[in-house]
Structure formats: structure tokens, C-alpha cells
Amino acid sequence: MLRIFLKLKEQYIKTEMEYTFNFWMMLLSGILTRILIMAIPFVIYKNIPSIAGWQEHEIYLIMSFLFIAEGLNSILFEGIWQMPGMVFNGQFDSILTRPVSPLYQVLSYGMGLQGIGVFLFGIVSLNISLHALGKYDLVSILLCFFLIVCGTVILMSVYLLSNSLIFWYDSGGRTSIPFTINSIGQYARYPINIYPKGVQLILLFIIPYGFIGLIPAYIVRGEHVISYTLLLIGMCIVFFLAARFVFYRGIRKYESMGM
């Protein structure tokens, strides 16, 4: 199954690269937008030594984990964002008639070119942050790989859960809920302890972007490593199972175009 998944992604890249200019523009746009995002704390730290006890490169570390997770989701699981359109125009019928898991088909569908630039920028930023924090060693790199996998799964689960709500209402193939949730999650680019307690709870346990950037940063810093790691794994499992449940429950509500 993994070989088929990677083969499909390879074909999507070949298709997109037929339009060379568009390919490079999308890739560069992903990098440029993230540079602009990082410019905000860069300017702030020119005047303020720390934010809620967090140094400049620690903020970049949080952002790096988020960027990498966003990039990987765009590259690997772009089909989730195509799902509302599939449901509205009846393309989801073909997914249900194939002898392959519908969830697997949705995850393997399409590819976001912008995600390549976001992912690459996140990797470079992560390496620079680790160097600056004196954490650039084999153990830290392996730890970061594990944290990235968990963060990517959590973000994929949030995307899947929010986009699966399309099965419950007719929106013309467009829904603002996933974009709204993603916009709220962007507040987790900064240490969430600067926000009120209610916002912190939302960013940790309802829209768990805090587990994609902040908690991994705590672990890399060496704070409560075991407890935070176990909590991260638990959130990863819980949100994936919840997203899978909502997705398949939503399929039961799906009305075929032929009905």
C-alpha cells in the first residue's frame, strides 16, 4: 500500500511539473509566505529580549515544527482538502465503488506543490534553531523526527475531522469550517501561555495545534520529557481515531449523485 501511495504522489509531481513555471511559483510562494511569518518575531525580538520566557530561536523552533507538519500534510494528504468538492460534485461515488479503503483513497489523492516549499523551509529553520539552541546532535535529530511524525498525524486528523463535516450539510462544495479552524490554530505559532487560559485549552485539547509546535518544543528543551511525550502520543492516537470515526460515520450520510 505504501508503494502505491508513493507511486501516486510521483505521478502527481510529474503532472504538475508539465507546467514548469507554475511548479516553481507555487514552491517559492510557500517559502516566501513563511519567511514573512517569521519576520514578525524577528522584529519583535529586536526590541524585547523574551516573550513569556521564550527566546527568539525557541519561537522559531515552534514555528518550524508547525511548518514541517503543514508542508507534509500538503504534500502527502492534500486530498483531504479536495473532499468537500468530491462530495458535492459526485466524485466521491467512484471512491466508494473501488475495492480500496475510502480513507486511503482520500489521503492519497492530489498533492499540494506549495507544501514542498513550506516543508523545505521548515527543515532549514529547524536545523538552524537546533544549532542556535545547542541541541544539534543525533539524539535530538531522532527525537525531532518522532515529534514531526506525531505532529503531522495530529494535523492530518484535524484536517480530516473538520473537512468530514461536509457530509452533514450542503455548502456547494465549499465549507469555511476547516479554514476557520486552521486560522484559529495559527495562534499556536507563538507560546500559548501568552494567551488567556480558555484560549490555551482550545489550542491544546480542542484545536490541538499546541501539540504540533509548542509541546515538541518543550520536549526538545528537556522539560517534562516523559509526561509530555506520553501526552503527545495519546493526543495523536485519540485525534486520529476520532477523525477516522467521523469520516466513516459521515460516509453513511453521503447521498450518491445517482440517488
The sign of the CA dihedral 152, 157, 160, 162 is: negative
Rounded CA-CA distance 188/151 in Å is 13
The DSSP line for 207-225 is S-GGGTTHHHHHHHHTSSH
Nearest-5° angle of CA 102, CA 66, CA 133? 145
Contact between 31 and 117 (Cβ < 8 Å)? yes
Query: Each residue of 160-205: pLDDT tens digit?
Result: 999 999 998 765 556 688 999 999 999 999 999 999 999 999 999 9
pTM: predicted TM-score of the whole model, two decimal places = 0.92
Q: Of residues 103 and 2, which shows the higher confidence score?
A: 103
Q: What is the pLDDT of residues 29-47, one digit of tens each?
A: 888 999 999 998 888 888 8
Residue 106 has pLDDT above 80, yes or no: yes
What confidence tens digit (pLDDT) does each residue in 135-148 have? 999 999 999 999 99
Q: What is the band of 259 on the pLDDT scale with cuts at 50, 70, 90? A: very low
* 41, three cell numbers: 518575531
pLDDT of residue 232: 97
Name residue, grid cell 475495492: 99
Contacting residues for 165 by C-beta, under 8 A, at least 6 apart: 175, 177, 178, 246, 250
How far is the C-alpha of 105 from the C-alpha of 151, rounded, in Å?
22
Average pLDDT of span 69-78: 95
Predicted pLDDT of residue 173: 53
236, 92 Cβ separation under 8 angstroms: no
d(CA 60, CA 123): 11
Question: Taking a C-beta distance cutoff of 8 angstroms, is the pair 152, 69 a contact?
Answer: yes
